[in-house]
């Protein structure tokens, strides 16, 4: 399996940060595309990714519940896709952190 391309579509609606489309090349299946992979902001750090992000596969709503529409028999395959998506998301959303100015507390007049 080779990830050919990842496209990020920013959303910024509540915790939904973006939707993603991933194109994969496979020896067995040829080239295929997975749409509607969601990137979510989370309060807790993801153990695998070491980020406060969660990536969820496409899902279908049936009544009040959502069901995953994508399943990989080998979890490692999904983990590889998830990691690549997060790397691409981080790359596209790198923002230069503002550099604070050091102030010596002794120099502040009281």
| 14 dihedral zone (left: phi>0; alpha: psi -120 to 50; beta) | left
**Does residue 50 fall inside a structural domain?**
yes
Residue 52 lies in a domain: yes
| pLDDT at 98 exceeding the cut of 50 | no
Q: Could you tell me where the DSSP H helices lie in the chain?
A: 75-92
Q: Can you tell me the distance from the alpha carbon of 89 to that of 41, in angstroms, rounded to the nearest whole number?
A: 12
Q: Taking 90 as the threshold, does the pLDDT of residue 71 lie above it? A: no
User: Structurally, how many domains does the chain consist of?
Assistant: 1
Q: Identify the band that residue 108 occupies on the pLDDT scale cut at 50, 70 and 90.
A: low
Q: What is the pLDDT of residue 102?
A: 55
Q: Is residue 99 part of a domain?
A: no
Cα distance between residue 31 and residue 55, in whole Å: 22
Is residue 37 domain-resident? Answer: yes
What is the band of 76 on the pLDDT scale with cuts at 50, 70, 90?
very high
- At 59, which CATH number? 3.30.1120
Over the stretch 32-60, which tens digit does the pLDDT of each residue have?
999 999 999 988 888 888 888 999 999 99
**Beta sheet of 30-41, edge-to-edge order:** 2-13, 16-26, 30-41, 53-56
Domain containing 75: what range?
A: 2-92
């Amino acid at each position: 399996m080779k990830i050919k391309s990842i496209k990020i579509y920013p959303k910024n609606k509540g915790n939904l940060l973006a939707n993603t489309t991933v194109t994969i090349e496979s020896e067995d299946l040829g080239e295929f595309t997975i749409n509607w992979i969601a990137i979510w902001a989370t309060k807790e750090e993801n153990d695998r990714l070491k980020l406060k992000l969660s990536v969820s596969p496409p899902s279908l709503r049936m009544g009040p519940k959502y069901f995953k529409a994508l399943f990989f028999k080998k979890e490692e395959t999904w983990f590889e896709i998830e990691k690549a998506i997060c790397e691409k998301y981080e790359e596209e959303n790198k923002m230069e952190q503002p550099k604070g100015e050091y102030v010596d507390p002794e120099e502040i007049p009281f």
